[in-house]
Chain A
Amino acid sequence: MDTQLLETQFQDKIDQDIRIEPKDWMPEDYRKTLIRQISQHAHSEIIGMLPEGNWITRAPSLRRKAVLMAKVQDEAGHGLYLYSAAETLGISRDQMMEQLLSGKAKYSSIFNYPTLSWADIGAVGWLVDGAAIMNQVPLCRTSYGPYARAMVRVCKEESFHQRQGYEILLMLSKGTDAQRHMLQEAFNRWWWPALMMFGPSDDNSPNTEKSMKWRIKRFTNDELRQKFVDVTVEQAKILGLTIPDPDLKWNEERGHYDFGEINWDEFWNVVKGNGPCNKERLETRQKAWDEGAWVREAAVNFAEKRKAKTIAA
C-alpha cells in the first residue's frame, strides 16, 4: 500500500476518534512526536521527585512525611507508566535514560526551580500539580492508546497531590504572620513558573497545529493556561493571597481573567539549561544512574545464573 493511502486511512481513524495502537501503521513523524512528548513527560515525573524528595526528612510532622513520601513514590510510578508507553513506540528505556542524562531530551522546566521553604512544597502540590492536571486530563483522550491509558492512571492518582499541597497552604494561611508571609513568598516564587508550564504561547508553538490535527493535543497551550489562571485565582482568594501580577483583572466581556505578559526570556533561558537548578538536577540523576549500575548488573547476572541452574537441573 502506498504511503499516501496509509496516511489518509490513518487520519480518518484519528478523525473518528479511533485510538492508534502500537502495532498499527502510523506516520514516522507521529511516532517521533509522541516519543519526544511521552519521554519528556516521563523525565519530568522522574526529575520532579527531586525538589520534593529533599523535603521528606524535614516535613513538619509524621503525617506530612508519610503523605510526601506517598506523593514522591507516585511520581516515580508515573514516570514508569510513561516510559513503558514510550517503549511501545520502539525506543528503549536505556536510550531514553541516555537522552535525559546527555541533555538531548528535555523535562519540564518547572523542576529547575528550588523549593526553599516548606510552603514551597505546598505551592508545588497546588500549582505545579494543578497545572499538570490541567494538561493531563485532556491527554486521557489522546489519540495514542498506550499514552491515553497511562494518563488515565496518572490522573486518578494526581488529584491527591494537588489537594495535599493546598491543605499545607491552607494550614499556613490560618497560622502566624510569619507563616502567612512564608506562604505569600512561596506563591510569588511559583506563580509565574507555573504559568510557563503550559509552554510557549500559541503563535510561538510550532508543533501545536500538527499535534492538534493528530489529536495528540486537544487544547492549545494558551487555552489551557487561561483555564488554569481562571480557576487558580479563585483558589488563591481562599488562601488570602495576592497574585504577583499588577495586570491581573477580571474581564467581564471575555468571561476570563486578563493577566500580564510572561517573561519569555526567563522561560527560554531555563529551557536552555540556565535555570537555578538545571545542573544540580541532572547531576543528581547521573549520580543515581552511575551508583545503581552494579545493582542492575548484579540482578542480570543473578537471573542468568539461576536460569542456567534450572535448565541444568
Chain B
Amino acid sequence: MSNKEWPLWEVFIRSKAGLDHKHVGSLHAADAAMALENARDLYTRRQEGVSIWVVESNNIHASDPSDADELFEPSKDKIYRHPTFYDLPIELKHM
C-alpha cells in the first residue's frame, strides 16, 4: 500500500464578478479536479465565491522574509510617488 499523501493546493476565490481572486487557504487533493471540488465544499459553503483557482503549493515561489529589507525598504523614502507629496494651491480644481 502506498503511503503517499495527497499534495497540498492553495485556494483562491473570486467573491464576486469584478473582484480579484483572493487567497483563502489550502487543502489536500490528489489532482486539480479534486482540488476544485474540495475547494468548493470547503471554502464556498456560504456563497463566498463565484470562481475558484487552485494552485499546487509547490508551484508557488515566495520571497524570503530575511530579504524583506532589501526588497521593500527602498520604496520607503520615495514618498514623491504619492500624490499627496505635492503641495498645490487650494483653488486648483480637477486634479
Residues of A within 8 A of B (CB): 21, 23-25, 70, 73-74, 77, 80-81, 84, 87, 92-94, 149-150, 153, 157, 293, 296-297, 299-303, 306-307
Closest chain B residue to A95, Cβ basis = B5
Once the chains bind, are B27 and A301 in contact (CB under 8 Å)? no
Q: Given A23-B64, A299-B30, A300-B30, are A81 and B25 neighbors across the interface (CB < 8 Å)?
A: yes
Task: Decide: B45 and A297 in contact? CB cutoff 8 A.
Answer: no
- Residues from chain B with a CB closer than 8 A to the CB of A92 are 5
- Output the least CB separation between A12 and chain B (Å): 15
For B5, list chain A residues within 8 Å (CB): 92-94
In addition to A87-B26, A299-B31, A306-B31, 19 A-B residue pairs with Cβ atoms within 8 Å of each other are A24-B65, A25-B65, A73-B41, A73-B45, A74-B45, A77-B41, A84-B25, A94-B5, A150-B25, A157-B46, A293-B1, A299-B6, A299-B34, A300-B2, A300-B4, A300-B30, A301-B2, A303-B34, A307-B31
Given the complex of chains A and B, what is the CA–CA distance between A300 and B1 in angstroms? 11
CA of A70 to CA of B46 in the docked complex: distance in angstroms?
11
Does B28 sit at the interface, judged by CB under 8 A?
yes
Chain B, range 25-73, C-beta contacts under 8 Å to A: 25-28, 30-31, 34, 41-42, 45-46, 62, 64-66
Count B interface residues, CB 8 Å: 23
Chain B residues, CB < 8 A from A70:
45
CB neighbours (8 Å) of B26 from chain A are 84, 87
Task: Across the interface, name the chain B residue whose C-beta is closest to A74.
Answer: B45
B75 interface contact, C-beta 8 A: no
- Complex Cα distance, B68 from A25, in Å, reads 13
Whether A296 pairs with B65 at a CB distance below 8 angstroms is no
Can you list 5 pairs linking A and B with CB atoms under 8 Å apart? A77-B42, A77-B45, A92-B5, A93-B28, A300-B30
* Known pairs A77-B42, A94-B5, A297-B2; A302 contacts B30 (CB<8 A): yes
Chain B: CB-nearest residue to A299? B30
- Measured between beta carbons, the chain A residues less than 8 angstroms from B66 are 25
Give the Cβ gap from B36 to chain A, nearest Cβ, in Å.
13
Shortest distance from the beta carbon of A210 to any chain B beta carbon, whole Å: 23
Residue of A nearest to B23 (CB): A149
By a CB distance below 8 angstroms, the chain A residues around B2 are 297, 300-301
